[in-house]
Amino acid sequence: MAERSFAHEVQKLRAGEGTVFAGEGILAVTKALLQSGVAYVGGYQGAPISHLMDVLGDAHEILEELGVYFENSASEATAAAMLAASVHYPLRGAITFKSTVGTNVASDALANLSSGGVKGGALIIVGEDYGEGSSIMQERSHAFAMKSQMWLLDPRPNVGAIVRSVEAGFELSEASNTPVMLQLRLRSCHLHGSFTAKDNRRPPMTVKDAVENPRRALDRIVLPPASFEHEKEKIEDRWPAAVDFIRSRGLNEVLGAGTSDVGIIVQGGVYNTLNRAMELLGCSDPFGNTQVPVYVMNVTYPVVDSEILDFCADKRAVLLVEEGQPDYIEQNLNAILRRAGSEVALHGKDLLPVAGEYTAAAVTRGVHAFLSRYRPDVIDGKPTLLLPESDPSSPFAPRVGAAVVRPRPPGLCTGCPERPIFSALKLAEKETGKQHHVSADIGCHLFAINEPFNLGATTMGYGLGSAGAAALNSKDADRRTIAVMGDGGFWHNGLTSGVGNAVFNQNDQLLLVVDNAYSAATGGQDVLSSKADNVLRSTKHPIEKAVRGVGVTWARTVSNTYRIGELRDLFVKALTTKEPGPKVIVAQSECMLNKQRREKPARTKALKDGKRVVKERFGVDADTCTGDHACIRVSGCPSLSIKANPDPMRTDPVATVLDSCVGCGVCGANAHAASLCPSFYRSDLVYNPTWRDRLLARLRSGWIGMLSSGVERRAARYEVMEAR
Amino acid sequence: MPSWTQGRRPVTIAILAMGGEGGGVLADWIVAVGETAGYYAQNTSVAGVAQRTGATVYYVELYPGEQPRVGSVRSEPVMSLFPTPGEVDVVIASELMEAGRAIQRGFATPDRTTLIASTNRVYSMDEKLALGDGRIDSNALLEAAHAGAKRLIATDFMQLALDAGSVISASLFGALAGSGELPFTREAFEDAIRASGKGVDASLRAFAAGFDAAQAPSPRPSPEPMPSTPSAGSPSGPVPVTISRRRPVDPAEEAAEAAERRRQELAATDPAALVGPKLQAQAARIAADFPVAARSMLLHGAVRTAVFQDPAYADRYLDRVAQVAAHERGGDGRLTTEAARYVALWMCYQDTIQVAQQKIRRRRIEGVRAEAKAAADQLMNVHEYLHPQIEEIADTLPTRLGRWVAGSRFFSRVVGRLTRNGIVVNTTGIIGFTLLWLMAQFRPLRPRSLRFGREQAAIDAWLARVIAVAPHDYDLGCEILECQRVLKGYGATQHHGMESFGLLMGAVDAVAGREDAAVVIARLRTAALADEDGEALRVALGSLAAGPALAASNRG
């Protein structure tokens, strides 16, 4: 079960010709696929396109009605290889993943696909995880398009424009026998907007038709001599065909032609930001009526030489707004202009930031610098962001001390089952008295690198936690290396790249596999080892069975990570055992976000039905708490916080448990395992008590009342009861 | 005339929230209100891992549903995906530090922005981790919120939402409606909540509370405090630390401060009213022998030491404080107050008897019920997570017995096995309560225990240092007293605290007589409270050993 259900929204996908479709960018892309007669879809989840996979999963009924095949691919490589179905058959296929990480993984298959080319339209929808909110290294997908010769669409951030790009992408792919990448920037994926829908189209040929009529063509298979022919074809046939299609369909736009002797060239995805910058500078309006000609590259690869030369023909100077680095387009434009002997001055990264996201502020400053040099007359606006920070009117003038706004990086949620794992690991290190090199992986568990755990030294990619520890394997060392991997990464590739590799090379590492029953960081999608029943997918394949299958002999599965003491002891055992080869601990407990989503409604219902329900939460006794916050330093739970000391004699804040506590038990288990302090308690609130509950309560309160009255009487000799 | 400055521009709204707070829901509601009113609405966010409790920004643009002029490039307005610094009309911050972030990033500016900020604090990790007090001064943030907005609407929207049984997005949405910054009716806002169909009634209650709050004036930061750090050599010492701390805006703390002020008055006029019948003699002594400013603290201390042990122990407490008070310089009585505070805290050290007693007090169970929001007659069980260590048990026993137990292999094995993974005691059950009650009954035996002797000796040694330096260096005396703050926690944390304390006392001996001695000790104490492994203190001591000049240059 995914984190967010689109079961309600997917009904919009049935919208027919002429109806207005309003929704998130992701949903619109799905609708566009169906309107385009797509025959099969696959992909791998990951922000910012996780929801695209979730939408497709929730839309399986509609897909089935249309005869569309949909797969949750095992990895991006799997998804890319899936596009092989469009090599010989006129099937339209689409895949999606997060980029550039997903494209890295997929690149082998994509390169082979691009070599032989495609007959049916092949669309690779990449969610460009770049800039604020990104969780990966900052790189561009553009390079992949160039190196394998796939066309790259970068539509302007407008739901209608994105939908048209999907449709045009399939056609472009078919017209040029080339796979097409459609790049959606992070914010565009979550863009809300509307467009006029068309009817969904059943693919003219379905997957079933293809299976029943197998075809092959030797010259499409990547093996010499065909591979040498493919390279020639790319240049001699496919490129010109693509350029013709792009020109004839007018995929790129020229706006405000003839209004000025300077111009701006912009990637489609950055167009809205550019227009906002120009509005601020007084040379465009909300409807894009610009006073400076703009060439919008909705196709950023290939660059259409003739369109560039046409646009630059009547201009003195041109500014290229190209986000990210290296400056591939700028280099390309320079080559085009120089080869043609053009006199136009080309600006780009000299006036705009070389690296980093092109925010409204960055683009405004760059465009202002360009226009100030060539056409100061068209500037009619002075946004305050142009002022130096020392100017009191600048939005960046210091109005708040830098030290009082602390960073707030993402962390493990309240009740996260991964927290006790890292608490236990820290305690195990304390017990063995040795610190270890920890090779981390991609997933929520990577948050362990931050406070309060500070565990993890490198992360080499999804599922590569074990492989990242491969070299740090010494027979002479007095300790072993620890590797971490999530269940998502494990099934993505970690089983072979990590576990298989460690068995084969007799690596001594301790591998911790965090199994929270979902691909949790990407939004709670099911994986092979998920515990849930899934009507569409085969689940419940245990990780321990898999690792034993590839030859691991020391493997343990912990089914309750909240038992920190036991887990700590197991870590100590795994770190000290003499057993050769990798030691694998599978630490299982369900992702709390998903668990709460399931259990909360069930509990509400039970309460309503008059059933006995016990609500647990933790608390801290302020009297007993000495305010040393050791509990926080082994936990970091968002619900474990501090508050002003209610004791007028003491000044340091005491620990406190917030109402958001879900009663997971980590606080108590930590207090025990780390021998912290006796301040933690758990309160169990009983709803709809049974007669036995009530009888017991009466007995107890009688006895306790008797004993405590002596205690209170004594205290009353010294204390005055006052409201604290 | 350019369209932007002419007002042909969207209404821009940035929402700064933490993942899981419903910022997305709030943005969706705003879009729904706008679209229903015929506006073009665009809403973007940066999702991904930022949603896992991290700080995140949602951004909405609303543009009136005007038709573009004929021949326009686009048929609908081109909207930005980024909030532009200096151009944001409304900033909504779900928490006070996030409001600070909005100002830092230039989204909220004094020339344009209506800032709707919740004044509640969700402490950041590094504020929580400190061994001492790592909290940021809320007043600094509130001050910034006033300075960084054209109009500030600030209150504890989190509390408003909780009171209504809803979430903060609803009360903030109400404040947005109540601010009048958007040209839509209250009904239109409420319809958006109704249309979302989930928890509608509670959301509407929170909405209404937020709406009303938007009409009220925003809280002002408390005035700048007097300096609380010792000013070496100044004739009149600074005001007591208790009221010089510049803390906050939090209504609960404000109420507590008001109560403390009332108490201070009562302590001055009628100290006997603040203690029970068996401590009247002690109260009279406090009134007769100690400065007025220290009385409230002394009364607290007397009660605490008496409950901890007996009235004789309270007398011993007063004797100890009196020794220090003899070197009081008058004025605000800082030395006496701090002695009253820290001597009592140390004398009432947290041993197993004390913990057991705290756990079985009636007012404690009532507090737990209140925190769990238990209804008046609702059944509730309370489970304690205890893990007595062998040393702690030995410490509680009479000295000779304690030594034997601590040395006994058999005993340590049995206890070790029982408590390695801790025990869970049901304080609301007959066995659990009786167990804790029995433990508390050991109180009369405490003076004969191993630990009691150790603690008393340590207290006397500590006070001897204070008494030795106070006549020459009043501020250093105060600082030595405050060093008791590092004695915290249980088990390993307590051991670490004792180590730090020892190092601090060594440093006191080394620097006593130096002009900057008080400042140095204050700095070292801060270092001792900075981390758990003592690294910061070691570094600070290292630089001290490297020479006074260097130490002084590290003062910041």
* Contact (CB<8Å) A400/B148: yes
pLDDT of B226 higher than 80: no
Quickly list DSSP for B307-344. Answer: HHT-HHHHHHHHHHHHHHHTT--STT-HHHHHHHHHHH
In a mutagenesis test of the A interface, which of B9, B29, B40, B74 is the best target, namely the one with the most A β-carbons within 10 Å? B74
Q: Confidence band (pLDDT; 50, 70, 90) for B228?
A: very low
* Contact (CB<8Å) B73/A256: yes
DSSP element (H, E) containing A265: strand A262-267
What token pair was written down for B303? 């009660």
Q: Detail the DSSP E strand segments found in B119-270.
A: 151-155
What token pair was written down for B478? 């105060």
pLDDT for B245: 40
Q: Give the residue on B whose Cα is nearest the Cα of A286.
A: B77
Q: How buried is A334 (Cβ within 10 angstroms: 0-12 exposed, 13-18 middle, 19+ buried)?
A: middle
Q: Confidence band (pLDDT; 50, 70, 90) for B224?
A: low
d(CA B398, CA B405): 10
Query: With contact defined as beta carbons under 8 Å apart, do A80 and A104 qualify?
Result: no
Closest CA of chain A from B318, distance in Å: 15
Please identify which residue in the block is written with the tokens 């003739």: A306
B183 contact A CB<8A: no
Closest CA of chain B from A427, distance in Å: 12
Q: Which fold has domain B9-213?
A: Pyruvate-ferredoxin Oxidoreductase; domain 3 (3.40.920)
pLDDT for A521: 77
Query: With contact defined as beta carbons under 8 Å apart, do A57 and A2 qualify?
Result: yes
* Contact (CB<8Å) A47/B47: yes
Q: Confidence band (pLDDT; 50, 70, 90) for B44?
A: confident
A684 contact B CB<8A: yes
d(CA B304, CA B313): 10
pLDDT of B28 higher than 60: yes
Nearest residue to A600 (alpha-carbon basis) of A551, A660, A550: A660
Please give the share of chain B, as a percent, with pLDDT higher than 70: 91
Q: Confidence band (pLDDT; 50, 70, 90) for A660?
A: confident
Q: What is the mean pLDDT of residues B370-385?
A: 92
Please identify which residue in the block is written with the tokens 């433990």: B439
pLDDT of B235 higher than 70: no
Q: Give the residue on A whose Cα is nearest the Cα of B16.
A: A408
A chain contacts of residue B373, beta-carbon cutoff 8 Å? 659, 685
For A495-540, the pLDDT digits (tens) are 999 999 999 999 999 999 999 988 887 778 889 999 888 888 999 9
Domain segments of chain A as ranges? 9-248, 252-386, 418-594, 610-717
pLDDT of B330 higher than 80: no
A565 contact B CB<8A: yes
d(CA B335, CA B353): 30
A chain contacts of residue B85, beta-carbon cutoff 8 Å? 360-361, 384-385, 395-396
For B270-279, the pLDDT digits (tens) are 999 999 999 9
Strand order of the β-sheet with A613-620 is A613-620, A680-687, B379-386, B423-426
Q: Confidence band (pLDDT; 50, 70, 90) for A249?
A: very high
Please give the C-alpha separations between residue B212 and each of A374, B179, B185, in angstroms, as whole numbers.
Answer: 53, 9, 14
For B478-537, the pLDDT digits (tens) are 999 999 999 988 888 888 899 999 999 999 999 999 999 999 999 999 999 888 788 899
Closest CA of chain A from B333, distance in Å: 16
d(CA B497, CA B482): 13
Write down the architecture of domain A9-248 according to CATH: 3-Layer(aba) Sandwich (3.40)
* Contact (CB<8Å) A642/B127: yes
Please tell me which of the candidates A50, A272, A724 has its beta carbon nearest to residue B81. A272
Taking phi over 0 as left and psi of -120 to 50 as alpha, with beta for the rest, A538 belongs to beta
**Residues ≥6 apart with Cβ < 8 Å to B270:** none
Spacing of C-alpha B337 from chain mean position = 22
Please tell me which of the candidates B97, B98, B133 has its beta carbon nearest to residue A653. B133
Query: With contact defined as beta carbons under 8 Å apart, do A580 and A505 qualify?
Result: no
B421 contact A CB<8A: yes
Q: Return the SS3 of B303.
A: helix
Please identify which residue in the block is written with the tokens 């689940």: A539
d(CA A109, CA B296): 77
Nearest residue to A186 (alpha-carbon basis) of A392, A26, A5, A351: A26
**Residues ≥6 apart with Cβ < 8 Å to B237:** B230, B329, B331, B332, B334, B335, B474, B475, B478
Burial B232-251 (b: 16+ CB within 10 A, else e): eeeeebbbbbbbeebbbbbe
Q: How buried is A8 (Cβ within 10 angstroms: 0-12 exposed, 13-18 middle, 19+ buried)?
A: exposed
Closest CA of chain B from A339, distance in Å: 32
Number of CB pairs, chain A paired with chain B, less than 8 A apart: 446
Please tell me which of the candidates B136, B273, B378 has its beta carbon nearest to residue A685. B378
Closest CA of chain B from A246, distance in Å: 20
pLDDT for B49: 54
For A195-212, the pLDDT digits (tens) are 999 999 999 999 999 999
pLDDT of A631 higher than 80: yes
d(CA A180, CA A122): 6
d(CA A90, CA A628): 68
- Return phi, psi of residue A61, to 5°: -65, -45
Q: Confidence band (pLDDT; 50, 70, 90) for B244?
A: very low
Residue A34 bridge partners (DSSP)? none
Lowest mean pLDDT among A321-330, A381-390, B226-235, B480-489: B226-235
Burial B275-310 (b: 16+ CB within 10 A, else e): bbebbeebbebbbeebbebbbbbbbbbbbbbbbbbb
| CATH of the domain spanning A418-594 | 3.40.50.970
pLDDT for B426: 95
Please give the share of chain A, as a percent, with pLDDT higher than 90: 83
Q: How buried is B8 (Cβ within 10 angstroms: 0-12 exposed, 13-18 middle, 19+ buried)?
A: middle
pLDDT averaged over every residue in chain A: 94
Q: Confidence band (pLDDT; 50, 70, 90) for B52?
A: low
ipTM higher than the 0.85 cut = yes
A chain contacts of residue B126, beta-carbon cutoff 8 Å? 406, 451
Please tell me which of the candidates B72, B84, B350 has its beta carbon nearest to residue A289. B72
B chain contacts of residue A448, beta-carbon cutoff 8 Å? none
DSSP A220: G
Q: How buried is B509 (Cβ within 10 angstroms: 0-12 exposed, 13-18 middle, 19+ buried)?
A: exposed
User: In CATH terms, are A252-386 and A418-594 the same topology?
Assistant: yes
DSSP A496: I
**HEC assignment per residue over B79-143:** CCCCCCCCCCCEEEECCHHHHHHHHHCCCCCCCCCEEEEECCCCCCHHHHHCCCCCCCCHHHHHH
* Contact (CB<8Å) A408/B124: yes
Closest CA of chain B from A192, distance in Å: 5
Query: With contact defined as beta carbons under 8 Å apart, do B433 and B393 qualify?
Result: no
Lowest mean pLDDT among A272-276, A672-676, B464-468, B532-536: A672-676
pLDDT for B63: 95
d(CA B519, CA A651): 19
Give me the count of residues in chain B: 556
pLDDT of B236 higher than 50: no
Residues B190-199: contacts with CB under 8 Å, at least 24 apart: B191/B33, B191/B36, B192/B29, B192/B30, B192/B32, B192/B33, B192/B36, B193/B29, B195/B32, B196/B25, B196/B28, B196/B29, B196/B32, B199/B166
B281 contact A CB<8A: no
Residue B15 bridge partners (DSSP)? B58, B92
For A101-123, the pLDDT digits (tens) are 999 999 999 999 999 999 999 99
**Residues ≥6 apart with Cβ < 8 Å to A129:** A46, A47, A48, A98, A99, A100, A101, A135, A136, A186, B48
Nearest residue to A499 (alpha-carbon basis) of A488, A485, A515, A519: A485
Instruction: State the amino acid at position B297 in one-letter form.
Output: M
pLDDT averaged over every residue in chain B: 88
Chain A (252-311) residues lying within 8 Å, Cβ to Cβ, of chain B: 255-256, 271-273, 275-276, 279-280, 282-290
Q: Confidence band (pLDDT; 50, 70, 90) for A2?
A: low
Please identify which residue in the block is written with the tokens 């990086």: A409
Which residues in chain B are classed under CATH 3.40.920.10?
9-213
Nearest residue to A160 (alpha-carbon basis) of A260, A31, A312: A31
DSSP B484: G
Query: With contact defined as beta carbons under 8 Å apart, do A135 and A80 qualify?
Result: no
pLDDT for B388: 77
* Contact (CB<8Å) A395/B86: yes
pLDDT of B391 higher than 90: no
Nearest residue to B65 (alpha-carbon basis) of A194, A160, A197: A194
For B55-69, the pLDDT digits (tens) are 889 999 999 988 888
pLDDT for B227: 42
Chain B (24-43) residues lying within 8 Å, Cβ to Cβ, of chain A: 28, 31, 35, 41-43
pLDDT for A250: 97
B chain contacts of residue A626, beta-carbon cutoff 8 Å? 350, 488-490
d(CA B37, CA B186): 12
d(CA A468, CA A477): 18
Q: Give the residue on B whose Cα is nearest the Cα of A569.
A: B421
* Contact (CB<8Å) A404/B97: yes
d(CA A399, CA B528): 32
d(CA A445, CA A589): 13
- Return phi, psi of residue A584, to 5°: -115, 125
Chain B (447-466) residues lying within 8 Å, Cβ to Cβ, of chain A: none
Chain B (224-243) residues lying within 8 Å, Cβ to Cβ, of chain A: 241-242
Please give the C-alpha separations between residue B388 and each of B22, B421, B423, B455, in angstroms, as whole numbers.
Answer: 42, 10, 9, 19
d(CA B539, CA A642): 27
Lowest mean pLDDT among A28-32, A458-462, B263-267: B263-267
B chain contacts of residue A678, beta-carbon cutoff 8 Å? 355, 359, 384-387, 490
Q: Which fold has domain A252-386?
A: Rossmann fold (3.40.50)
Instruction: State the amino acid at position A322 in one-letter form.
Output: E
Instruction: State the amino acid at position A185 in one-letter form.
Output: R
* Contact (CB<8Å) A626/B126: no
d(CA B164, CA B171): 9
